Amino acid sequence: MYDRIFAGALLLLSGLIAWAAAQFDVPFQYEPLGPKAFPYILSALLAVAAGWLMIRPSADDWKPTKEVVLRLGGALVLMYGYAFIYEPLGFIIATAIVGGVFSWLFGEKPIKAGVYALVMSVVSFFLLTDLLQLNVPVGTVFGG
């Protein structure tokens, strides 16, 4: 079933690709193929392959429990949130919060997780900026 749903999504995608490629604004065709041909070819191949998968899907073997779905959803929200606060709050605060929750998600006691994440984020901030000279945000809310 999952395979069928996925194949359906791919069919939709292949249609979208072909449609979007048709919209490309090519002011002048100076070469035989142009920018549209390759996407068309890919779209056609993808449609055929997805059709095949639709007809001959594999058996489903992923049976997540409610808790799995919940935790996975939590982790995704968390990572999305991390991306959201990474720049404004800066590396240290964002990492301390998100790292702490992740540690807790993987079974650490809340206080221990928080302390660990805080230490990790502060130590790695200085390692990453001073030693590796990477571009690590300080946080725009601090005007830094």
What residue spans of 63-134 are helical by DSSP H?
66-85, 90-105, 110-126
Nearest distance in Å: CB 72, other proteins: 6
Residues 5 to 34 in contact with other proteins, rule: CB under 8 A = 6, 10, 13, 17, 20-21, 24-28, 30-34
**How many chain residues interact with other proteins (CB under 8 A)?**
77
Instruction: Answer yes or no: are the C-beta atoms of 104 and 110 closer than 8 Å.
Output: yes
Query: Position of tokens 């540690």?
Result: 103
Among 3, 18, 93, 115, binds other proteins (CB under 8 A): 3
Instruction: Answer yes or no: are the C-beta atoms of 18 and 40 closer than 8 Å.
Output: yes
N residues, the chain:
144
92 contributes a contact to other proteins by CB under 8 A: no
Residues 33-62: x/- map of binding to other proteins (CB under 8 A)? xxx-xxx--x--xx--xx-xx--x-xx--x
